[in-house]
Structure 1
Amino acid sequence: MKSIYYISIDASTFSACLPYVSKPEGCNMRRMSNLITLFTAITAFFFGCFITKILTIVDKCPAHKSGVAKLEPHPNLFLMVLIMSAPRNVEQRNAMRETWLKLGQPLQQPYFPEENIYLPAYGARGHLQMETVTSQANRLRLYMDWAAKLPYMDAPKTKRTIQVKHFFAIGMQHISSVVRAELAREQSQHNDLLLLPRLHDAYTNLTEKLLQSIDALTHHYEFSYLIKVDDDSYVKLDNLLNVLISYDRKLLRKSSEYRHEQLPQLYWGYFNGRATIKSKGQWSEPNYYLSKHFITYALGGGYVISRKLCEFVANNSQHLSTYVSEDVSMGTWLAPLRHVYRWHDPRFDTTYVPRACRSHHLVLHKRNEVRMRDLYMGKLCSPEQSSARSLPAEYYYDWSKPVDKCCDSLVV
């Protein structure tokens, strides 16, 4: 016998429950529709965020200007050495490989004292305060005293292995099959050529060469600093590394003192602020309208820039004005940045003609293969380099004066 049960509900309760009792299929469909609408809205939101992020990244990181598809992986580097070289300058490249590129591997010098390193502070208006002439002169004396004692100092207990990598940048467009084959053999032997497939290697393309080189190295490698030199420059790499390491260590140790300000970004070399704009010859700059003189820049025989400045150049390469001189261009590109520390250093002998060799020099420009080997063997100067001919005077840079008076404080 079947049991019969009765449920008693009032009319209001029945009315409230009617949609669920009388039309269960419609209720489920409505729920499903609401869930689909919610899911679609959430998906659209996150998809919009994703597209915005992609567009932001694309805007910040344009397609690689250099066209260099791949470079051999390498552990994180402290210093990248970028050497601007011409396709046929194999003798210069070999001289560098056999001399100063071998220095500092490993580094066996005692640490350069951090107290001898200047770190700029931000002023009241948010600009870095450059080093005074008096301070520059004092620090040069301190370095010369330290270097003179270096041979007599006790060697450190452990050798410091500082990660350094070098590349010779060479444009590959419009070169003969013979030269291309020679470069291929050189690359197979040394694997240190930065071959730029989109660049015709010529003087008028040096700025584009610098842009493409920095673009390639920044995108393919992690490094802290980059030194740009020409293939007729000699670098006392061990001494330069030691000073740069002490600067970097002190900057990291003092980073908390900058609080909410950006850390200074290094632009280290020998600066000129009163170079006139040439109107004739291979150095003429027909499109430089910014000022009466070139904006202050580090001379191109050799200068050091920090990683973040390389990233700035690489990420904005599509928007930067290029001039005939790649070094003038670099100074102009970095001019608006208030967190750039322009370290003027008389130890960089990087003018258009070589000065008489001095023991404190870290970078020496306009040295041929013979001079490089002499310097590597400890011969400070060859006889003709010591001749009494007119040479540019070394100076400290006075940042407190107008550019036409910047360079009157001579190094004696």
Structure 2
Amino acid sequence: MRRLNNLVTLFTAITAFFFGSFITRILTMVDKCPAPRSGVAKLEPHPDLFLVILVFSAPSNVEMRDGMRDTWLRLGQPLRQAYFPEEYLYLPSYTAAGGHLQMETVAAQAHRLQQYMSWQQQLPDLEEPHIQRNIKVKHLFAIGTDGQMGATLRAELEHEQKQHKDLLLLPRLHDDYLNLTEKLMQSLDALTRHYEFSYLLKVDDDTYVKLDNLLNELVSYDRKLLRNRAEFGHEPLPELYWGYFNGRANIKVKGHWRETNYYLSKNYINYALGGGYLLSRKLCEHVANNSYLLSSYVSEDASLGTWLAPLRHVYRWHDVRFDTAYTPSKCRPYHMVLHKRNQRTMHDLYTGKLCTHEQQGQRLFVSYYYDWTKPADKCCDSIVA
């Protein structure tokens, strides 16, 4: 009997040990999983999306949001353009030395722009009435609701949400220019947790996008990437970071955008300008999953470029059709993403007018091709003719 009791005691002790180890492991794993940064508990359900459009908007900018809803957010739904030719799209390959992606040359960038303009001119003749592609797209206006927000404004946002159901309300974010980087982190956290999507387009609420053109080209790029998957072998597929890049931007040392903790280099590490850029999902997940480890800088777009800098499988597609600088460049028919536009110019662009924003004597941004073979201070000297 005593022997039986000893066996029962031993069995109980062993069971308790393994059960305790199991519980400890579970608790350790839970501790390693970061809590949701955004505090967004639920979003409107939606089937798998091809593209999410994330618009940074201030709480009171309802007129700008309405301007976007009434114009370019309607484009491409459904998509009626002929397929953009895949042969016009550059697909990077890995170099033998170091296994880094080979970026597009200046000559190739210029050549592809000419191809695009030629295709644009032929487009009316390529259109076929029966073409109709339903690409799943969803837009959301990111707005911080934490802080000193008046009851009237809060009620207006609630009414707007009931009417349109397209606000990404961030309860832990005080919406301010100095919190744009945190806004990006929280937005990507919420979207990657609640939606399945392939690509994300981030824009400001004063940005106009020729969404049908962008969607058409992005679909062709995605198709070409998947068709050529076998060519990459054991290497990871390139992850897309598409926009207008700057590699020689000075770090702000005074004024509203002053940086106090950017010590990595003399200039900001190259990044796509924040008026509009596009990311593949895995890059969004990289930011969201590591947000508690990443250094946060005042400049949201420069922060993103710095976070993605160490990743060797990022295809940085510099595109002069993204007119996304602090001031617009000279209007061109090929421009696809246009920053610093107001409601009137958005409506003009939507109805086919080109350059209603330009004024005599206005300072215009000079566009360039990006030379990835040269150091940062020489990257941006190849001016677009």
TM range (shorter): over 0.9
Q: Check whether the contact 1:80–1:227 (CA below 8 A) recurs between aligned residues.
A: yes
In 2, the alpha carbon distance for the partners of 1:121 and 1:58 equals: 39
In 1, the alpha carbon distance for the partners of 2:31 and 2:139 equals: 29
In 1, the alpha carbon distance for the partners of 2:6 and 2:108 equals: 77
Once the two structures are superposed, what CA deviation does each residue of 1:176-205 show, in whole Å capped at 9, x if it has no partner?
111001111111100101111111111111
Which one of the candidate residues 57, 78, 83 is aligned to 1:85? 57
1:54 is displaced (CA, Å) by 6.3
1:327 matched to 2:310? The reply is no
Which one of the candidate residues 122, 136, 152 is aligned to 1:163? 136
In 1, the alpha carbon distance for the partners of 2:360 and 2:234 equals: 52
1:26 is displaced (CA, Å) by 9.4
Counterpart of 2:336 in structure 1: which amino acid? L
1:44 is displaced (CA, Å) by 2.3
In 1, the alpha carbon distance for the partners of 2:130 and 2:315 equals: 33
Counterpart of 1:222 in structure 2: which amino acid? E
1:348 matched to 2:322? The reply is yes
In 1, the alpha carbon distance for the partners of 2:116 and 2:10 equals: 73
Alignment of 1:14-163 (within 5 A): 29=4, 36=11, 40=15, 44=18, 48=21, 52=25, 55-56=28-29, 58-59=31-32, 61-123=33-95, 124-155=97-128, 157-163=130-136
1:176 is matched with 150
Q: Check whether the contact 1:109–1:156 (CA below 8 A) recurs between aligned residues.
A: no
In 1, the alpha carbon distance for the partners of 2:42 and 2:14 equals: 42
Q: Which moved more, 1:154-163 or 1:193-202?
A: 154-163
1:166 is displaced (CA, Å) by 0.6
Change (3 A) 1:249 1:38: farther
Counterpart of 2:15 in structure 1: which amino acid? T
Change (3 A) 1:277 1:133: same
Change (3 A) 1:257 1:390: same
Once the two structures are superposed, what CA deviation does each residue of 1:26-83 show, in whole Å capped at 9, x if it has no partner?
99x5998699489839x928x7567546644652x41110001111110000000000
Number of positions where the alignment pairs a residue of Structure 1 with one of Structure 2: 383
Q: Check whether the contact 1:255–1:263 (CA below 8 A) recurs between aligned residues.
A: yes
2:363 is matched with 390
Which one of the candidate residues 402, 406, 410 is aligned to 2:375? 402
Counterpart of 1:411 in structure 2: which amino acid? V
Counterpart of 1:400 in structure 2: which amino acid? T
Once the two structures are superposed, what CA deviation does each residue of 1:155-190 show, in whole Å capped at 9, x if it has no partner?
263411000001111111121111001111111100
1:135 is displaced (CA, Å) by 0.8
In 1, the alpha carbon distance for the partners of 2:283 and 2:171 equals: 24
1:14 is matched with none
Q: Which moved more, 1:245-254 or 1:389-398?
A: 389-398
1:118 is displaced (CA, Å) by 0.8
1:284 is displaced (CA, Å) by 1.2
In 2, the alpha carbon distance for the partners of 1:344 and 1:54 equals: 45
Q: Check whether the contact 2:82–2:131 (CA below 8 A) recurs between aligned residues.
A: no
Counterpart of 2:277 in structure 1: which amino acid? Y
Alignment of 1:272-311 (within 5 A): 272-311=246-285
1:280 is displaced (CA, Å) by 1.0
Q: Check whether the contact 1:110–1:156 (CA below 8 A) recurs between aligned residues.
A: no
Change (3 A) 1:218 1:36: same
Change (3 A) 1:73 1:282: same
Q: Check whether the contact 2:81–2:131 (CA below 8 A) recurs between aligned residues.
A: no
Change (3 A) 1:148 1:50: farther
Identity of matched residues, %? 64
1:8 is matched with none
Counterpart of 2:48 in structure 1: which amino acid? N
Task: Tell me the TM-score normalized by structure 2.
Answer: 0.94
Structure 1 portions without partners, runs of 5+ = 1-24
In 1, the alpha carbon distance for the partners of 2:190 and 2:349 equals: 31
Counterpart of 1:364 in structure 2: which amino acid? L
Counterpart of 2:44 in structure 1: which amino acid? E
* 3-state SS, counterpart of residue 385 of structure 1: coil
Q: Check whether the contact 2:330–2:365 (CA below 8 A) recurs between aligned residues.
A: no
In 2, the alpha carbon distance for the partners of 1:138 and 1:211 equals: 36
Give structure 1 regions of 4+ aligned residues with deviation exceeding 6 angstroms: none
Q: Check whether the contact 1:272–1:296 (CA below 8 A) recurs between aligned residues.
A: yes
In 1, the alpha carbon distance for the partners of 2:73 and 2:119 equals: 23
2:291 is matched with 317
In 2, the alpha carbon distance for the partners of 1:300 and 1:330 equals: 9
Q: Check whether the contact 1:359–1:380 (CA below 8 A) recurs between aligned residues.
A: yes
Counterpart of 1:136 in structure 2: which amino acid? Q
Counterpart of 2:295 in structure 1: which amino acid? S
Structure 2 portions without partners, runs of 5+ = none
Q: Check whether the contact 1:268–1:303 (CA below 8 A) recurs between aligned residues.
A: yes
In 2, the alpha carbon distance for the partners of 1:95 and 1:334 equals: 32
In 2, the alpha carbon distance for the partners of 1:236 and 1:154 equals: 17
Change (3 A) 1:140 1:49: farther
1:287 is displaced (CA, Å) by 1.2
